[in-house]
Amino acid sequence: MPEDTEHLSPRRKRLLFRAWHRGTKETDLMVGGFVARHIAGFTEAELDEVEAVLELPDVDLADWLSGRRPVPPEVETPMLARMAAECAGPGAGRPQWFRA
């Protein structure tokens, strides 16, 4: 989890914490990393979308974000699609220091 969170609102801090504490390390890294990179710039509507993604089952979310299974149309949202696109890249889920 990023060190510099003092400037974030309580809602953003709460979402960042939830994103890093999903239940499985794989999902923590994918979702937590994505949220950490973008949390400061999300609009209120995007924060609502992040909250909705965080309500999805951990195992399903890991499969969808890793590309093991396609995202079902009934849960696909712009935020989930954005996460999946970013997580599909090489090194997704790895800490920045590990990618070098």
What domains can you pick out in the chain, each with its CATH number?
Answer: 10-93 (1.10.150.250)
pTM of the model: 0.84
CB 84 within 8 A of CB 62: no
| pLDDT attached to residue 88 | 84
Contacts of 93 by beta carbon, 8 Å cutoff, 6+ apart: 26, 29, 30, 33, 87
Rg of the chain over all Cα atoms, to the nearest angstrom: 13
pLDDT averaged over 10-residue windows placed end to end, the chain, 100 residues: 76 96 90 94 97 95 93 96 88 53
Predicted pLDDT of residue 6: 79
CA distance 64 to 7: 32
pLDDT value at position 39? 95
pLDDT of residue 31: 95
